[in-house]
């Protein structure tokens, strides 16, 4: 049995999914005779999101086991684990769109819409020492400086509205192969945004691009000061105090985006994708866990 409070949350998640499913259905539509199964896609999505968010189980096997043990009264048509896993992997597009809808429809009122924080984090399918065999059309080999390791997988990039004293609200989330440089994503996806101050780490600084953005878009990228090769030691020491103060201030502003990633990892173990066995499975792993993490936005709005 589960508590009445958790019963209420299960119902709320189910009704939320049903509300959105008028649109989500087009991202997981079946073109077969079995296009109206007794155990619905809405129920599968509800089980997945509920068990991750409210029970803390992140592996599909554990999610199914909890549903089989405790949610049979709610979902009497729940079939075998194999059927559940197969059906779940068909919902990658629906989870992707659900994340977009949650982030767009539940924007907190305290967002600073003229200030954005950006960063990326790895989602690891296997160590760089091994040979990658899963989702080769999405993944490749990259390097994570934070963990000082090579890995195979993808990289999750986030652009978030700054909120004072709390986690930023993601405006957009993108997925790229692990080898794609952060500044490449910034240039292609976000450097054309007008009237915006961006805060990122040193990798995002391109002096020529930044000057062009200031002149033409009234936008600017703020990063910690990057050392200039060949600078005279006397000049370097003269500038050090001011550069350190500026870098500390920028780092303090952008720290919440790192905290956001830490929160996602703690809540969903999104970085660990070593059990994924297909491209669709990797997409469900990523966007399904993001949806589970952000589902509480609907309850707190």
Q: Lowest-confidence range among 8-17, 61-70, 225-234, 269-278?
A: 225-234
Q: What is the pLDDT of residue 235?
A: 59
Q: What is the average pLDDT score of the chain?
A: 91
Whether 31 has a pLDDT exceeding 80, the answer reads: no
Whether 237 has a pLDDT exceeding 90, the answer reads: no
Nearby residues of 197 by Cβ (< 8 Å), 6 or more positions away: 114, 115, 116, 219, 220, 222
Q: ∠ at Cα 77 (74, 81), nearest 5°?
A: 105
Q: What is the pLDDT of residue 34?
A: 66
pLDDT, tens digit, for every residue of 96-130? 999 999 999 999 999 999 999 999 999 999 988 88
Instruction: Return the closest-CA partner of residue 210 out of 224, 194, 222, 193.
Output: 222
d(C-alpha 183, C-alpha 190), whole Å = 10
Whether 274 has a pLDDT exceeding 70, the answer reads: yes
d(C-alpha 19, C-alpha 15), whole Å = 6
Mean pLDDT along residues 156-163? 97
Mean pLDDT along residues 170-175? 96
Q: Indicate the pTM of the whole model.
A: 0.91
The fraction of the chain above a pLDDT of 90, given in percent, is 77
3-class DSSP state of 128:
coil
Q: What is the pLDDT of residue 142?
A: 94
* Strand stretches in the chain, DSSP E: 112-127, 140-144, 149-162, 169-177, 197-199, 220-222
Q: What is the pLDDT of residue 232?
A: 56
| Cβ–Cβ under 8 Å, residues 184 and 206 | no
Q: Which helix (H) or strand (E) holds 61?
A: helix 60-70
pLDDT, tens digit, for every residue of 239-270? 677 788 889 999 999 999 999 999 999 999 99
d(C-alpha 295, C-alpha 155), whole Å = 22
Q: What is the pLDDT of residue 225?
A: 86
């Amino acid at each position: 049995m589960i508590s009445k409070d958790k019963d209420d949350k299960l119902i709320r998640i189910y009704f939320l999914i049903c509300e959105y499913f008028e649109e989500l259905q087009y991202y997981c539509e079946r073109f077969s005779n079995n296009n109206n199964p007794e155990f619905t896609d809405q129920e599968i999505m509800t089980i997945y999101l509920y068990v991750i968010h409210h029970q803390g189980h992140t592996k599909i096997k554990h999610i199914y086991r909890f549903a089989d043990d405790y949610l049979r009264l709610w979902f009497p048509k729940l079939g075998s684990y194999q059927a559940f896993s197969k059906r779940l992997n068909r919902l990658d597009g629906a989870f992707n769109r659900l994340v977009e809808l949650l982030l767009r429809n539940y924007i907190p009122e305290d967002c600073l819409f003229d200030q954005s924080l950006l960063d990326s984090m790895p989602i690891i399918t296997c160590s760089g020492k091994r040979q990658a065999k899963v989702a080769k059309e999405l993944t490749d080999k990259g390097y994570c400086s934070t963990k000082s390791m090579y890995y195979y997988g993808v990289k999750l990039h986030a652009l978030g509205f700054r909120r004072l004293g709390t986690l930023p609200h993601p405006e957009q989330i993108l997925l790229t192969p692990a080898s794609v440089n952060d500044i490449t994503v910034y240039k292609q996806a976000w450097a054309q945004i007008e009237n915006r101050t961006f805060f990122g780490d040193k990798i995002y600084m391109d002096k020529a691009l930044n000057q062009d953005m200031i002149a033409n878009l009234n936008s600017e990228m703020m990063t910690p000061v990057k050392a200039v090769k060949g600078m005279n030691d006397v000049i370097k020491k003269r500038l050090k105090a001011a550069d350190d103060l500026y870098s500390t201030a920028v780092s303090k502003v952008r720290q919440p985006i790192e905290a956001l990633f830490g929160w996602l990892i703690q809540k969903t173990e999104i970085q660990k994708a070593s059990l994924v066995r297909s491209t669709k499975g990797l997409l469900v792993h990523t966007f399904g866990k993001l949806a589970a993490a952000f589902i509480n936005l609907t309850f707190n709005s």
